Amino acid sequence: MAATLRDLAELVGGTVVGNPEVCIRRVASIDAGGEGDITFVSNPKYLPRLHECSAAAIIVTSAVQAPGRNLLIAANPYLAFAKIQAFLQGPMPAPQGILPGVHVHPGAVLAEGITVHPGCVIGDGAKIGKGTILYPGVVVYDNVVIGEDCIVHSGVVVREGCRIGNRVVLQPSAIIGSDGFGFAPDGERYFKIPQVGIVVIEDDVEIGAATCIDRAALGVTRIRQGVKIDNLVQIAHNVEIGENTLIVSQVGIAGSSRVGRHCTLGGQSGIAGHLTVGDNVMIAGRGGVSNNVGDNQVLSGLPAIPHKTWLKAAMTFAKLPEMRKELHQLKKKLAEIAMQGKEN
């Protein structure tokens, strides 16, 4: 697709400095931009590169001045870039219906305007909403509900009874509704606890590639509206993730824990089981939560502690060998003083 700079400014609620009729066809990086491209600068450290940039237009804040350049002034250039990128990509592909090589159970209900690619299997009682796309190799078990305008990429498995909302994106090989890890001790052996609950994914959620979300042992594992989950994340049975939370790659959340709304869990962080994490909490990468956490906190480390405290501890860590040496010298000196006192 293509649009004028004026059109794009209207799209993102910005204003134009320069030629509003310049034609924009794609978004490019500040180094690769050329004719027909728009780029953006949200980090001040990249401002010196503006004079070398060849893009047709640049998205910046009102604080930036670049005489002779076509600028789109936006309060949040990064957000403006994302909206323009989505617009220039154009709408979803036109519906193609049920393509050859698909197995659909007679008891499944498929709405009009969907696309199901070869190799997909759709079970008895499954329901697929209008405008949804299933790419090759998707497996939908019995009684699954998938809403409207979803994108389900290759290799995704949605197991029995799980419910997917509208406008959900499931990246390749995501597994929704796998068995929770539940085993009852039986002497030296373990007896598998049947996992009879489901997973509910609400509207506007995105699940990353090879992420696993386990079904509940009883009841529901719930991913609430607007949650964004990166690749290679493990969410255990009966977990609940609050609205608009971000979960970065390789996070693990143990069973029956609750994460509040608008949280951010950094890469490789973890939450132990049966805990509650409040709203607006940030856990830094590799942070480990082992106790309940209240609202509006930033935590780091294992076990997770307030980020400012962790920074002080991290700065001290590098000095420990020197401090150990000094402590040894002090102990030796005190022993000498004590010996002198006995002699006197």
- Catalytic residue numbers read 237
Q: Tokens standing for 113?
A: 């305007």
What distance in Å separates the CA atoms of residue 272 and residue 288, rounded to the nearest whole number?
8
φ, ψ for residue 189, nearest 5 deg: -110, 180
Q: 210 — alpha (psi -120 to 50), left (phi > 0) or beta?
A: left
Q: Which DSSP state fits 36?
A: T
Q: What span, in angstroms and rounded, lies between the C-alpha atoms of 224 and 219? A: 15
Asked if 139 contacts 121 with a C-beta cutoff of 8 angstroms, the reply is: yes
Distance CA 282, CA 264 (A): 5
DSSP state of 76: -
Could you tell me which of 155, 150, 180, 179 has the C-alpha nearest to residue 165?
150
Beta bridge partners of 307: none
User: CA–CA separation, 337 vs 257, rounded Å?
Assistant: 56
For the chain, the distance separating the N- and C-terminal CA atoms, rounded to the nearest angstrom, is 94
- Distance from chain centroid for Cα 27: 22
3-state class of 338 per DSSP?
helix
Here the tokens at position 118 are 């070869």
Q: Which of 310, 314, 251 is nearest to 285 (CA)?
A: 251
Q: Residue 265 has which token pair?
A: 């869990």
